[in-house]
Amino acid sequence: ISNMGMAKKDESNSSDSDEVADNANRADTSLLMKIIRQGLVESKLDIEIQRKDPNSPLHSVKSFEALHLKPNLLKGVYAMGFNAPSKIQETALPTLLADPPQNMIAQSQSGTGKTAAFVLAMLSRVDTNKNYPQVLCLSPTYELAIQTGEVAAKMAKYCPEIKLKYAVRGEEVAKGTAITDHIIIGTPGKMLDWGLKFRLFDVGKIKVFVLDEADVMIDRQGHQDQCIRIHKCLPSNCQMMFFSATYDSAVMDFAEIIVPNPIIIRLLREEESLDNIKQYYVKCKNVEEKYRAICNIYGVVTIGQAIIFCHTRKNASWLSEKMSKDGHSVAVLSGDLTVEQRIAVLDRFRAGLEKVLITTNVLSRGIDVEQVTLVVNFDMPMDMNRKADCETYLHRIGRTGRFGKAGIAINLIDSSHSMEICKTIEAHFGKKIQLLDIEDADEIE
């Protein structure tokens, strides 16, 4: 009987799933960013360096030659089209390649060249005269591990003697066989099985230990524990490298456990601001009125492209159907799409094939589309406690220096709760959000 009760409960949950906030999953977002990125994200900001040990040497390089890489590795780097080190690489690479090895914690936003940096370090440290694993790289998901492995394979194009193996689901090694590959890239669970449970390689002989996407990793408590268990078996002279796109205290606490006596480098990101954005709110009685508001705005403003944010998939699909019926060309980006589908949607929108992108929170950060002039919050951003989510608001509406053009943001308010969120956001940023009378929308311009 109790089982039946359970089954029933599950069913009702799943039929509700459309109502649940469609939030970004860190691992998915990170993968998507990697795939749609066309090249380096440049930053005008400076790099910040902290050293526990002031005697440790530190210098930076302006060229890949200055690193004295093996010639075939340098050839691989150039074949990837890299002419000079990125900002984070200028400082990280000399440290990562130094002798004696130094431990490093590096933080910079995605797209700044972290993966390329540690992959180069991993490849440089391999001794191909020894046929056993010497380098471990932990990634939070199957897909991210494969991405990193593909970078390694490309960079090692002219070094066929370096062997790489994936420790991910679907990969099997017969029990009792010793792994002879030099580098293993994989997820924590599989790495733990291979290294500690089945002893397919000797963790005590690892020279380099890389923790990639550490901020995504700690999203799952299990992963963190597995990393720590592997880490405990590493030799004391193993070089530790720790990479993260964010620098919050949870990430740094984890880093402290993994990386003794590190050099810490950070590349600050250019923050979004609301400076050039005109912000409005519109009072609506219900969802139908919200829709009317959007149509009215459309009637008045000559809009480049618009992004409309909804809280749930259900709202997003309702809105897109309605707008399509009324003759607007709209695209929808929500959490039920595969990575390939999301890329396709974003590519079409970038190319201007659709004027309106309706989305949930699946990608609140990272849709830097220059021609977007209007952002509409169909639903106000809120956190799990239904409180104002100011950070998400800023990512939705704000622009960085690069895309510093003027823009318009409109918040649709249909309850006292959403009004409260709007007021909280206004107070948080100290920037006025003006009431807009939608029947008289001429005042927007």
Site for ligand ADP in 136-165 (CB under 6 A): none
Are the CB atoms for 279 and 345 separated by under 8 Å? no
Instruction: State how far the Cα of 119 lies from the Cα of 29, in Å rounded to an integer.
Output: 21
**Cβ closest to ligand ADP, residue 26 vs residue 114:** 114
**Cβ closest to ligand ADP, residue 123 vs residue 274:** 123
CB of 108 to ligand ADP, least distance (A): 6
Site for ligand ADP in 391-420 (CB under 6 A): none
**Cβ closest to ligand ADP, residue 110 vs residue 364:** 110
The contact mask relative to ligand ADP for 35-54 (x = CB under 6 A, - = no) is: --x-xx--------------
CB of 82 to ligand ADP, least distance (A): 4
**Cβ closest to ligand ADP, residue 110 vs residue 141:** 110
Single out the segment in contact with ligand ADP by CB under 6 A; choices: 16-24, 33-41, 175-183, 258-266: 33-41
CB of 115 to ligand ADP, least distance (A): 3
CB of 31 to ligand ADP, least distance (A): 11
CB of 152 to ligand ADP, least distance (A): 11
**Cβ closest to ligand ADP, residue 85 vs residue 94:** 85
268 touches ligand ADP by CB under 6 A: no
**Cβ closest to ligand ADP, residue 64 vs residue 349:** 64
**Cβ closest to ligand ADP, residue 206 vs residue 216:** 216
**Cβ closest to ligand ADP, residue 110 vs residue 418:** 110
CB of 207 to ligand ADP, least distance (A): 22
Instruction: State how far the Cα of 148 lies from the Cα of 143, in Å rounded to an integer.
Output: 9
**Cβ closest to ligand ADP, residue 111 vs residue 398:** 111
**Cβ closest to ligand ADP, residue 110 vs residue 377:** 110
CB of 415 to ligand ADP, least distance (A): 40
CB of 151 to ligand ADP, least distance (A): 7
Site for ligand ADP in 289-318 (CB under 6 A): none
CB of 160 to ligand ADP, least distance (A): 21
Listed in sequence order, the residues at least 6 apart from 258 whose beta carbon sits closer than 8 Å to its beta carbon are: 211, 227, 228, 231, 240, 242
**Cβ closest to ligand ADP, residue 29 vs residue 115:** 115
CB of 171 to ligand ADP, least distance (A): 23
Site for ligand ADP in 71-130 (CB under 6 A): 82, 85-86, 89, 108, 110-116
- Total site size for ligand ADP, rule CB under 6 A: 15
**219-227: long-range pairs with CB below 8 Å, 24+:** 219/26, 219/27, 219/140, 220/140, 222/188, 222/189, 223/140, 223/187, 223/188, 223/189, 224/254, 226/188, 226/189, 226/191, 226/192, 227/138, 227/188, 227/258
List of residues contacting ligand ADP (CB under 6 A): 37, 39-40, 82, 85-86, 89, 108, 110-116
